[in-house]
Amino acid sequence: MSALELETEMLDVIALDPTGPRVVAIGGGHGLAQALVGIQSYASRIDAIVTVADDGGSSGRLTSTLDILPPGDIRRCLLALSAEPSLWSEMFEFRFQSTDVSGHSLGNLLLAAMSELFGDFETAISVAEEALGCVGHVIPNSQRSLHLQAIIDGALVDGQAAIATTRGSITELRLLPEDCTVNPRALEVVGAADQIVIGPGSLYTSVISALLVPDLIDAVNASRADVVYVCNLTTQDGESLGMGAAQHVGALLDFTGIKTPLTALIHDGDRPFPPGAEEVAADEEAVLALGVKPALWDLLDRDHDWPQHDPLRLGRALEQLWADWSESSR
């Protein structure tokens, strides 16, 4: 059975709010997974479009060894969309601490094994969605593994992991191979979306890289959906140190070519961040000057020492933005 056939079969058992919007979330890493948890509170359908330019850690090792798509971000999204804890979800989260598979997540290894068993990675994802009881679908932004390169302070930096840890000004970002193509399923769900959520996540290596695959940004620009960029809570050493919200938004516009009306959802709260965490400044006037509508919400998760988005707060904010957009579009 193909991935698309499996997806169609699963649509009958997905239990979300039937009156809610069809939401597409684009990005990668831990940030996208947090967004997916929040989106479940109001969406009627959820599709996650995930970057496949990850070459670090377990994903990088498996990609180079087995010639598969990097499974790490895909695994995180599958777990975020899992309806309830189960043996399968516990297995997918398990990470080996010793032996020859040290550092590998069992979920990554299971996706690799299912890819070989069923003949392609997307079918493996669909089987995993069913096993985990996912309430949405996870779609790689391309059907082949991609490689990221950047020009940082005039020097070529090769690979997602290296880019993420190299300080300096990123002036160019590109995907290889040059003839890479977008996953057709990504274009389909973007075209049918009521709301498109971009981020949060590492600005260049997760969020922007997810949108660089050819034709995807054209589909976003052609969409009639409510488009929201979720800005990060903190800057990231090596990618966005010292950057405020307007600089994050400016980079997104410059590197991707987004032209559709855009709302930037930005954290604005009164709880101080811990030492070592540089809060992204909520410079709403500078965001407005870019032609982007700022929306300020307190999005901080109070249950963690290090700043991260609270999925429930994020979900409420996105739902309200959708309601406001829907009302204004009538």
Average pLDDT over residues 144-153: 96
Least confidently predicted of 48-57, 124-133, 277-286:
48-57
Interatomic CA distance for residues 292 and 60, integer angstroms:
35
What is the domain range of residue 107? 54-140
pLDDT of 4: 38
Q: Are residues 208 and 186 in the same domain?
A: yes
Is pLDDT larger for residue 329 or for residue 153?
A: 153
Q: Are residues 183 and 294 in the same domain?
A: yes
Q: For residue 87, is pLDDT > 70?
A: no
pLDDT of 95: 65
Q: pLDDT category, 129, cuts 50, 70, 90?
A: very high
End-to-end CA distance of the chain, in Å? 41
Q: How many domains does the chain have?
A: 2
The token pair at 216 is 């995807």
The token pair at 153 is 């302070």
Q: For residue 11, is pLDDT > 60?
A: no
Q: Are residues 229 and 309 in the same domain?
A: yes
Q: Are residues 308 and 326 in the same domain?
A: yes
This model's pTM is above 0.85: yes
Q: Are residues 127 and 244 in the same domain?
A: no
Residue 12 placed within a domain: no
Is pLDDT larger for residue 157 or for residue 96?
A: 157
Last residue of a domain, one of 123, 140, 157: 140
Q: Are residues 87 and 221 in the same domain?
A: no
Question: Of the candidates 232, 281, 242, 251, which has an alpha carbon nearest to the alpha carbon of residue 170?
Answer: 251
Q: For residue 59, is pLDDT > 50?
A: yes
Residue 9 placed within a domain: no
pLDDT of 13: 38
Interatomic CA distance for residues 262 and 43, integer angstroms:
19
Is pLDDT larger for residue 200 or for residue 98?
A: 200
Q: For residue 325, is pLDDT > 90?
A: yes
What's the pLDDT tens digit per position in 164-192? Answer: 999 999 999 999 999 999 999 999 999 99
Q: Are residues 161 and 257 in the same domain?
A: yes
Question: Of the candidates 43, 46, 5, which has an alpha carbon nearest to the alpha carbon of residue 26?
Answer: 46
Q: Are residues 157 and 220 in the same domain?
A: yes
Average pLDDT over residues 71-79: 92
What's the pLDDT tens digit per position in 266-291? Answer: 999 999 999 999 999 999 999 999 99
Mean pLDDT, all residues of the chain:
89
The token pair at 45 is 């359908």
